[in-house]
A and B are shown apart, each in its own frame.
Chain A
Amino acid sequence: MKAIKKLVLGSALATLAMASTAMADTTLNALFMSQAAYSEDDIKSMTAQFEAANPGVKVSLEFVPYEALHDKIIAAAGAGDDGYDVVLFDVIWPAEFATGGFLTDVSDRIPAEYTDEVFEGAWTTVEYEGKRYGMPWILDTKYLFYNTEILAEAGISQPPKTWTELMTQARQIKEKGLVEYPLVWSWSQSEAMICDFTTLTAANDGKFFDAGEPAFTTGGARDAVAFMKATLDEGLTNPASREYFEEDVRRVFSNGEAAFALNWTYMNALANDPKESKVAGKVKVVSAPGVEGKSTASSVNGSMGLGIPANSPHADEAWAYISFLTQKDIQDDYAKLSLPIWKASYSEPKVMEGQEDLIAAARESIAVMYPRPLVPSYTEVSDILQKNIHKVLLNQTSADEALEAAAERVKRIR
């Protein structure tokens, strides 16, 4: 009996020793994006804090544009031990990554009490069929930013509550000649456009799929496309929006060339930073508007999570790093460019300070976050929608024809 105990104790100690030697000389390869949300500097300084708290563990950071993130994760799956240990992934990928076995199921690593402490919308970012494939990290959605000076000059006292009201205000601003194009969006043929489209679809109480069949040809989704087109036709939307990404939207808005812009959280801090913006101090943010009788606000779930690729040989260290980055204290310290996933953070003075309007908008927006279709073939569905909606915006076809064509093409997906 004693011998067995000794043996057990001995092997436990040996495991512990092995674990700590593994912990002692590990370099984690982590993949992030250099676009919206936390800046490279933020991530570097969080990582430095982690390294200081975990001697022996080094993190090698790689930053890529959002557009390259998906392919990098896929391509590295074949790299064996030399792949990534931690990857940032988008809310639209867990279905695909889970079915393809790209990410490690971490459901058991997440403490049970987190479920209630973190927002529901954040959890959808990492969940597929009841399992969790990472920890949510960036809780983001698109907000409506407005230039207080332009609105005041146009005699507008309140930002719009509905999209119709937004159009009316934009018309007023255009008529007074305050800016040529009051609205600017990220409507290039890209995921960025789908995020705006989803926001508008949510506002119009639309649906993408109904019982597995495309449902975007009628109702709210169709109204969303029609709205986008109408703002272009009336000259309210900057026509160059059709080739803009989020960073272009930020630039145009920060130059004072637009009265309204839809963009992620990160623009709030940057558009109010005199080094980055000509309109610093004149920028306010609210939830994206709703549609009368259908919604009071609208919001797209644009969150992102951190996961461990299936081929990582350092899952434990990777999880330690992920836990560090996603903990409430760290998130509260870096709450300018990306907001925390923790409910309690939204009443923390250090999170609210200086961005009270953003926090108020976030409370409203997070409650109504609308997901993009949660299907394994999402990437292809999105590409099809991007192409066809883009055709409408470029006057090549009507909204009805384009969405009909998209639905036909979606049905052909294998």
Chain B
Amino acid sequence: MLGRRQKQEKWMLLAPAMFVLALITMVPLANTLWLSFTDTRITAIAAPVHFIGLENYIYALTDPDFQAALYRTLYFTIVSVGLEGVLGIAVAVLLNQPFRGRLVLRALIILPWAVPTIVNAVAWRLIYQPDYGALNSLLYQLGLISDYRSWIGDPSTAMNMVILADVWKNFPLVAYVALAALQTVPDDLLKAAAIEGASPWKRFRSITLPWIAGPLLVVMVLRTIEAFRVFDIIYVMTSGGPADSTKTASFFIYQEYFNYLRSGSGASYAVLVAGISAVLILVYYSAAKRQAAGGTA
């Protein structure tokens, strides 16, 4: 154990880092929290600010449009992170097999993730373009559709199309983390299981997956947080349309702040969204703890 002096030293060494951390995270957070209880507006002149208690929160929580935006965000998060997980693991397992050209493929697969979100969004918008987009052309030539159709202009498909673009961009991250984890799975364990007659699926389910669960969880938490605050891809691809069908919580906050200039009210929406993200993260952590406690079962 550390002595008294060493303890002091430890805090002294930590102090600068903690000070900077507090400055860049705690101050804005406290400021946002304070804003959310006021009627502050963005102006270029000094305007009176009033403390209005919970009014912003009551307005936000009774706003059906915001509730709808929250559900949409949840849908986006669950579906896109879910697909990224499945696709990521599948690709990682494939890339973990020895075959010719594996190295090239491993390098190629990271490309979508390396593309900036804005570029990705613009590219997919062109792919979905109703008159000359590649998707229509492909499906038409395969005989799967008889007429060119609108993809992100149709509220019944728009959200899923945005999700597809997001999955394409982000699954490589999951795949890479999973691939790294897969390389630590002990080969002899898998061989022993194979000799015992365990099917490939059973081996994957009972040995591989629990083995890589830890790193996988980290990347899934990361992706969940990112997905929950999705903004840029929506802004570029659909701007929340058609008929609000892709308007997510972050987009809502952005509008409240920068379009309607109500920073007080916008802050309350932001606090609510941050709160929900915190809950999601807690769920993941408790799952991780249970996983660790339960061993490889």
Contact = CB atoms under 8 A, between A and B. Distances in A.
A394 B44 CA distance: 39
B239 interface: yes
A67 interface: yes
A77 B44 contact: yes
Contacts of B59: 414
Interface residues of B, number: 27
Contacts of A239: 150
A310 B45 contact: yes
Nearest to B240: A189
Residue among A71, A252, A311 facing the most chain B CB atoms (10 A cut-off): A71
A111 interface: no
A25 to B, nearest CB: 26
Given A189-B239, A189-B243, A101 B259 contact: no
A132 interface: no
Contact of A414 (B45, B131, B258, B262): B262
Contacts, number: 80
A190 B240 CA distance: 10
Interface in B215-249: 239-244
A207 interface: no
B260 A379 contact: yes
Contact of B44 (A102, A242, A383): A102
Contact of A100 (B41, B152, B155): B41
B41 A242 contact: no
A390 interface: yes
Interface string B17-51: 00000000000000000000000011111000000
Contact of B243 (A71, A252, A390): A390
A333 to B, nearest CB: 34
Contacts of B150: 239-240, 242-243
Contacts of B239: 67, 189-190
Residue among A77, A189, A394 facing the most chain B CB atoms (10 A cut-off): A189
B261 interface: yes
Contacts of B41: 100
B43 A189 contact: no
B130 A396 contact: no
B255 interface: yes
B243 A387 contact: yes
A171 interface: no
A310 B243 contact: no
Contacts of A311: 44
Interface in B87-120: none
B243 A394 contact: yes
A100 B45 contact: yes
Given A100-B41, A394-B155, A414-B265, A242 B242 contact: yes
B43 A101 contact: yes
Contacts of B130: 240, 243
Contacts of B258: 70-71, 74-75
A100 B242 contact: no
B152 A380 contact: no
B153 A240 contact: yes
Contact of A380 (B43, B44, B131, B259): B259
A100 to B, nearest CB: 4
Contacts of A102: 43-44
B242 A394 contact: yes
A383 B259 contact: yes
A390 B45 contact: no
A101 B46 CA distance: 9
B131 A252 contact: yes
Interface in B111-165: 130-131, 150, 152-155
B243 A396 contact: yes
Contacts of B152: 243
Interface in A59-116: 67, 70-71, 74-75, 77, 96, 99-102
Interface string B150-183: 1011110000000000000000000000000000
Given A100-B45, A310-B44, A396 B155 contact: yes
Nearest to B260: A380
Contacts of A101: 43-45
A331 interface: no
A405 B131 CA distance: 33
A254 interface: no
A263 interface: no
Contacts of B243: 189, 387, 390-391, 394, 396
Nearest to B255: A383
Residue among B41, B65, B131 facing the most chain A CB atoms (10 A cut-off): B131
A27 interface: no
Contacts of B259: 70-71, 379-380, 383
Contact of A188 (B65, B153, B261): B153
B274 to A, nearest CB: 22
A242 B241 CA distance: 10
Contacts of A190: 239, 241
A377 interface: yes
Interface in A26-85: 67, 70-71, 74-75, 77
Interface of B: 41-45, 59, 65, 130-131, 150, 152-155, 239-244, 255, 258-262, 265
Given A74-B42, A101-B43, A390-B243, 7 more contacts: A100-B44, A100-B45, A101-B45, A190-B239, A242-B242, A390-B244, A394-B243
Interface of A: 67, 70-71, 74-75, 77, 96, 99-102, 188-190, 239-240, 242-243, 252, 309-311, 377, 379-380, 383, 386-387, 390-391, 394, 396, 409, 414
15 contacts: A70-B258, A71-B259, A74-B261, A75-B258, A190-B241, A240-B130, A240-B150, A242-B150, A243-B153, A243-B242, A377-B260, A379-B260, A386-B241, A390-B242, A390-B243
Which 5 residue pairs are nearest across A and B when measured between Cβ atoms? A243-B153, A101-B45, A189-B241, A100-B43, A101-B44
